[in-house]
Amino acid sequence: SDWNRGKVKKQVCKQMFMHTISIGERPLRDWVKPTETTSSQASTSVENISVSEKAIIELQEWLNSLAKVESHYCRVSSDKLYLEPVWDSMSDFYRKYVAIFESLGKTKVLGQL
């Protein structure tokens, strides 16, 4: 294909490249570096993370307490509920979650977004 023709590497400004394709530094780094699966990475997979049932219930209660919009405002045929768009981004949503759970002394279940 034309995309790989010549395979000449060119140096570009990382910040400009990231802003051009709207991607953060970590996703870019994960995309560019060769993938390697080590035993240490495998041991930290989601399946192996133990979270207390109480922490999960607290998270569910918090999510249920958030203001929702009925699905007919968002989609034609859906039984889902959608959160009201009161956050600027997922990072903003996460910061609010962390602040609330830390102020209440509760265990955070979600990792960093």
27 against 40, higher pLDDT: 27
Distances from the Cα of 34 to the Cαs of 28, 40, 105, in angstroms? Answer: 12, 16, 39
For the cut 60, the answer to whether the pLDDT of residue 46 exceeds it is: no
For the cut 50, the answer to whether the pLDDT of residue 113 exceeds it is: no
Confidence of residue 54 (pLDDT cuts 50, 70, 90): confident
- Cβ atoms 100, 62 nearer than 8 A: yes
pTM of full prediction above 0.85: no
Percent of the chain with pLDDT over 90: 0
Summarize pLDDT for 57-108 with one digit per residue, the tens: 888 888 888 888 776 655 666 677 777 878 888 888 888 888 888 898 887 7
* Of the candidate ranges 1-10, 21-30, 86-95, 99-108, the one whose mean pLDDT is the lowest: 1-10
What's the pLDDT at 38?
A: 52
What's the rounded Cα separation, in Å, for the pair 102 and 63? 16
Neighbours of 76 (CB within 10 A): 6
